[in-house]
Amino acid sequence: MNADLGAPRELTGLQRRRALYQPVLPPCIQGTRITMEFGDSTTTIDPKCADIIAQAFPHTFGQKLVHFLGPSMMVPVPDAQVKREQPPLRVGVVFSGRQSPGGHNVIWGTYDALKAQNPCNVLLGFVGGTEGLFAKKTLEITDDVLLSYRNQGGFDLLGRTVDRIRTAEQVNAAMSTCCDLNLDGLIIIGGLTSNSDAAQLAETFAERNSKTKVVGVPVTLNGDLKNQFVETTVGFDTVCKVNSQLISNVCLDAVSAGKYYYFVRLMGGKASHVALECALQSHPNMVILGEEVALSKLTLMEITNKICDGVEARAAEGKHHGVLLIPEGLIESIPEMYALMQLLLHQESDNSAQLSQIDTEQLLAHLVQAEMNKRMKEGKYKGRKFSPVCHFFGCQARGSVPSKFDCDYAYAMVSVRRHLRGPGAVPVGKPVIHPSPIDLKGKSYEVLREKASSFLLDDFYSTPGGIQFEGPGADTKPITLTIEEQDYLGDIKILQDYLDKLRILLKPGCSREILRAAISSIESANDVLKVMSVPLNAELPLYNFN
Amino acid sequence: MNADLGAPRELTGLQRRRALYQPVLPPCIQGTRITMEFGDSTTTIDPKCADIIAQAFPHTFGQKLVHFLGPSMMVPVPDAQVKREQPPLRVGVVFSGRQSPGGHNVIWGTYDALKAQNPCNVLLGFVGGTEGLFAKKTLEITDDVLLSYRNQGGFDLLGRTVDRIRTAEQVNAAMSTCCDLNLDGLIIIGGLTSNSDAAQLAETFAERNSKTKVVGVPVTLNGDLKNQFVETTVGFDTVCKVNSQLISNVCLDAVSAGKYYYFVRLMGGKASHVALECALQSHPNMVILGEEVALSKLTLMEITNKICDGVEARAAEGKHHGVLLIPEGLIESIPEMYALMQLLLHQESDNSAQLSQIDTEQLLAHLVQAEMNKRMKEGKYKGRKFSPVCHFFGCQARGSVPSKFDCDYAYAMVSVRRHLRGPGAVPVGKPVIHPSPIDLKGKSYEVLREKASSFLLDDFYSTPGGIQFEGPGADTKPITLTIEEQDYLGDIKILQDYLDKLRILLKPGCSREILRAAISSIESANDVLKVMSVPLNAELPLYNFN
């Protein structure tokens, strides 16, 4: 384990200015008096999984959703009822997953929240990730410790190691650490695997009557731990911004020289959120999302041919260059490749380790080149010789200084509780959290599809530039979030407003005609909703390459 | 050729703001009245080459250096003497080299300077690089054309193609284009090869009494066209900033996980300027400069062993991760590899094309891994298993939005004249411009050497962040320039001030004692300088890995 973890370090000018930035909290968790109300019980997205999950998590499944109330919605509470003297809390925090920008701010936000509540509260960081947790190796978080890690990238305040809390031995070690240190809470910062482990650990701790509450915080660049209540994961914004900057640089390079096709593979795990967001930011000529390949059950040869058709269409317009985005998860979405991978690759700590080993971009570049040469020989393709160049954008984005969005989001993340999502069951063994895929019926994907043909042919490249921390561009959010954010909570608000209006209109005393019209409309709405609640199996057309 | 070159395009918010930025000109070339004086004749840096160059360039070698005078130094000129009505000029401009951030601003700066002098002046861009020059394919540069290319990256305003003006056929085609279009000047924007070609073309045009004056503008990310009068090349600052951002991200990633050694290869041609600047900005654990390897005549095995010793030293401190920078030119500096390359690789348009094909980082990673495994087996190395990860940072930096420094520098570049430098001769064939190597006796290298052991062991990683366009970080210059800039012109100023003081002190009437002391001191200075002017063959110790 690295001896320098958590050590103070010298910051550059930009880092020092970033360290002075105070993240902005949402109004509902500002101040020391936070009011919340309990909502419905949590459930799984796919109702078919609810029973399985309820059986596997008897102590933790179905807890109430917590809703933090904004200042305007707070009911005045007599002073006597406000708990003034809460006993000091002891909380532990561990990095258990691949580094993602903003991870340090989760710790900082937790620390500030704990200290604001009671200066005697203690936050202990486990040094060296899960290994530190098992070995009870701690560093008490203080203002001094945080000094050079506020709003900074990396996970080097505490480091990380094996990212697993799964075997009986590991679970027992974690349990005995929490018990020995008398922890009220354990915060596990990580991605899909770590949050699955956190859910399992919470259940085990609850079953064994441990007083330590386990909370998982979704910190991963993949953006694949999202649902109606969690907009995105910590780090997704930064990584997409850095990648989009680099992709747009490659686009400008491609169009300037006019000779090469760039095959750019992006990190992001099994789901293709990073590729979708980067495509919307940088407008490359083509992007192949794993989700659409899975839906259309495309073979490797079909994908190759789609790309070649795109290259031909561009050549017909005198363009012999292009940029193609490939999510690392694509390979898993191709049925024939998935079978092969299962045979050839070792099972790693989680899928992303496995995925990043496969040079999908090189495989595709090779296949496309072979097919283009064949088409040229047969006289079908009359353009220039096809020249591919491959890139993999991996950890050069992951260690970035976090964007303002990620700084704010991570700092406030302490309030997000681990909760189960679905489809969350695998047929054999323990349930794990599955990556949330791109919603192919959602607005972001619709925007991409609308622009696909322009992206392919018009070199409609967009240059977002690097992450800016000052000036007008500093506050931009991910495009997919901006497109989607009205989708759920916003729509629920709109619906509730309509229902309120109906209630006012339809009080006793309203005319029979109005009442009949209302009953008829609402009956019809009910019928439509009943039909729509049955899962659709209709296949969506593939994102149109040409 | 791409039909869309030079077309107007939609800009992002950041690009629009950048497009509004007006580059700052140095005082000496502000306004329409520019005063200059002629200085000494140009010569070669290595006096031994002067004769060869003079023979090869009889019409262009030895022209006077031009010194632009600052406003304070301008002698008032009677209005009558100011040429009011200059005949309209017609100038052509061509991109002839790999894209480098700031290239568009050279065109913009030229355009503004021409139009300020006489609105009837015309600037013609050649579309599609040198192929466009040969085929007389032009686009008249106007405010409208420039609108979406001001302060933007890429070379897509005009594009580029083969980057060569060398064969008799090519030279004749260029000549007939310039003649047909009645050009007073031809500006060739590019790197080493393009500036060699520009020098040769200038000579040929002069020999054939063409009225077209040929000017080369050093625009290349390599930073290898620099000397006492040209601080650096256009694009070097931007590319080093983007690369340093990515390297520092990799450093943070490395220290966070503590398991991997990153071998990062950087573009930059034969010389290692990019690697040196990036090392000073991001503080990786090791960097191997081509120049120091060449000086010490290190073999591949010796380099491998040096790296392995570094890995061992770090393991002894409990560190099993690290970041190593490898300039793409390194491979050419290793004698055994150079011989092998000559056998195996095709000769490309210039060396950098050839160089970027060789995965030096993978070769070194493989050799280091084999040696570490061997040392482990023999019980010499007791650390963890050595795990390398390779990266090549190429065109993802090259297409970046230019930094403020490069915007300003490129916009003012129109005033920089092509001039010959040395050692500029090869034994057989035509003289070409050689890359300016890192000065291993210079201050920048000294700074790197001083910090080498701290870089290696202390994880003294520095995070410059991405390029900022607003706020305090926006105006930073390359570190090597800041370190070096006093070296030449600054020192000449200091020397001249001293000489002025001596002149005032030592007027007739001063005492004999003072006069004797002065003569004795100056005699001694003369002797020292005579000895120092003989080239030193003393070998410098290699940059210390451990």
pLDDT in tens, A143-190: 999 999 999 999 999 998 878 899 999 999 999 999 999 999 999 999
pLDDT of residue B68: 79
* A349 and chain B in contact, CB less than 8 A: no
Please state the rounded mean pLDDT for residues A415-437: 55
Give me the residues of A, 44-83, that contact B with CB < 8 A: none
Closest CA to B45 of B249, B232, B226, B187: B226
Is residue B130 within 8 A of residue B92, CB to CB? The reply is no
A182 neighbors A90 (Cβ within 8 angstroms): yes
Please answer whether residues A194 and A103 qualify as being in contact, where contact means their C-beta atoms are separated by less than 8 angstroms: no
B104 at interface of A, judged by CB pairs closer than 8 A: no
Residue B323 and residue B254 in contact, taking contact as beta carbons nearer than 8 Å = yes
- What is the DSSP secondary structure assignment for residue A7, as one 8-state letter? -
Q: Is B160 an 8 Å CB contact of chain A? A: yes
Residues of B in contact with A463 (CB under 8 A): 11-12, 14-15, 152-153, 401
Average pLDDT, integer, range B39-51: 79
Interface ipTM: 0.84
Alpha-carbon distance A360 to nearest alpha carbon in chain B (angstroms): 16
A residues 305-344 near B, CB within 8 Å?
Answer: 317-321
A6-24 per-position pLDDT tens digit = 788 889 889 999 999 999 9
HSE toward the beta carbon, residue B137, CA cutoff 13 A? 18
Q: What residues does A38 pair with on adjacent strands?
A: A66
Question: Stretch B311-337: mean pLDDT, rounded?
Answer: 92
Q: Say if the Cβ atoms of A399 and B256 lie within 8 Å.
A: yes
Asked if the Cβ–Cβ distance from B18 to A246 is below 8 Å, we say no
Average pLDDT over residues B381-402: 92
Return phi, psi of residue B324, to 5°: -125, 125
Mean pLDDT score, B50-75: 80
User: CA of A151, closest CA in chain B: separation in Å?
Assistant: 12
- What's the whole-number mean pLDDT along residues B383-411? 92
Indicate the CATH number of A89-219 among 3.40.50.150, 3.40.50.450, 3.30.9.10, 3.40.50.720. 3.40.50.450
CA B408 to chain centre: 16
Mapped onto helix, strand or coil, the DSSP state of residue A403 is coil
Look at phi and psi of residue B446 and say left if phi exceeds 0, alpha if psi is from -120 to 50, else beta.
Answer: alpha
Looking at B191-195, B331-335, B339-343, which range is the least confident one?
Answer: B339-343
Show residues of chain B in contact with A251, CB under 8 Å: 399
Q: How confident is the model at residue A421 (pLDDT cuts 50, 70, 90)?
A: very low
Cα(A142)–Cα(A164) distance, integer angstroms: 27
| pLDDT tens-place string over residues A487-531 | 566 677 788 888 888 888 888 788 888 888 888 888 888 887 777
Tokens for B381, please give them.
């190395």
Interface test with A, best of B1, B17, B98, B396 (most A CBs within 10 A): B396
- Taking contacts as CB-CB distances below 8 angstroms, the residues of chain A near B246 are 396
CATH 1.10.260.40 assigned to domain A237-398+433-484? The reply is no
Cβ(A111)–Cβ(A147) below 8 Å: no
Q: Do B463 and A153 touch (CB under 8 A)?
A: yes
* Set of chain A residues whose Cβ sits within 8 Å of the Cβ of B242: 249, 466
Closest CA to B268 of B150, B166, B360, B165: B360
User: Is A399 in Cβ contact with B250 (below 8 Å)?
Assistant: yes
Instruction: In whole angstroms, give the CA distance from residue B189 to residue B219.
Output: 6
Q: Up-side HSE of residue B523: CA atoms within 13 Å toward CB?
A: 6
Rounded Cα gap, residues B207 and B200, in angstroms? 11
- Whole-angstrom Cα distance, residue A108 to residue A145? 10
Q: Which of A131, A150, A253 is best to mutate for the B interface (most B CBs within 10 A)?
A: A253
CB B186, CB B233: distance < 8 Å: no
Distance CA A106, CA A92 (A): 12
Long-range contacts of B513-518 (CB under 8 A, 24+ apart): none
Matching fold, domains B13-35+70-74+86-218 and B236-402+435-484? yes
Q: Give the pLDDT of residue A428.
A: 43
Q: Is the pLDDT of residue B426 over 60?
A: no
Q: Give the DSSP per-residue string, A183-224.
A: -SEEEEEESHHHHHHHHHHHHHHHHTT-SPEEEEEEB-TT--
Helices and strands, number each (H, E), in chain B: 21, 11
What is the C-alpha to C-alpha distance for residues A364 and A357, in angstroms, rounded to an integer?
15
Average pLDDT, chain A: 85
Shortest distance, CA A23 to any CA of chain B (angstroms): 18
What pLDDT sits at residue A464?
86
Q: What does the pLDDT read at residue A496?
A: 81
Q: What is the CA radius of gyration of chain B?
A: 25
Q: Name which of A10, A252, A255 is nearest B2 (Cβ-Cβ).
A: A255
CA atoms of A14 and A18, how far apart (whole Å): 6
| CB B217, CB B189: distance < 8 Å | yes
Look at residue A542 and give its three-state secondary structure.
Answer: coil
Q: Does pLDDT of B355 surpass 80?
A: no
Q: Which tens digit of pLDDT belongs to each residue from A442-455?
A: 888 999 999 998 88
pLDDT band at B216 (very low <50, low <70, confident <90, very high): very high
For residue range A29-85, list pLDDT tens digits in order. Answer: 887 777 888 877 877 777 778 888 889 899 988 888 887 777 655 555 555 554 556
- Give dist(CA B384, CA A506) in Å, integer: 74
Rounded Cα distance, B153 and B104, in Å: 7
Q: Which residues in chain A are closer than 8 Å to B397, comparing Cβ atoms?
A: 249
CA A252 – CA A261 distance, rounded (Å): 12
What's the CATH class of domain B13-35+70-74+86-218? Answer: alpha beta
For chain A, what percent of residues have pLDDT higher than 70? 87
* For helices A404-412 and A103-117, angle between their N-to-C axes, nearest 10 degrees: 40
Q: Does B11 touch chain A (CB under 8 A)?
A: yes
Percent of chain B with pLDDT over 70: 87
- Which chain A residues have a beta carbon less than 8 Å from that of B153? 249, 252, 463
Mutate to test the interface with B, among A2, A131, A265, A317 (most CBs of B within 10 A): A2
Average pLDDT of the residues of chain B: 85
> How many residue pairs from chains A and B have C-beta atoms closer than 8 A?
222
Domain layout of chain B by residue ranges: 13-35+70-74+86-218, 236-402+435-484, 487-521
Q: How far apart are the C-alpha atoms of A537 and A542, rounded to whole Å?
A: 15
Q: Taking CB atoms and an 8 Å limit, are A395 and B389 in contact across chains?
A: yes
What dotted CATH number matches B236-402+435-484? 3.40.50.460
Angle (CA) B184-B190-B195 rounded to 5° is: 70
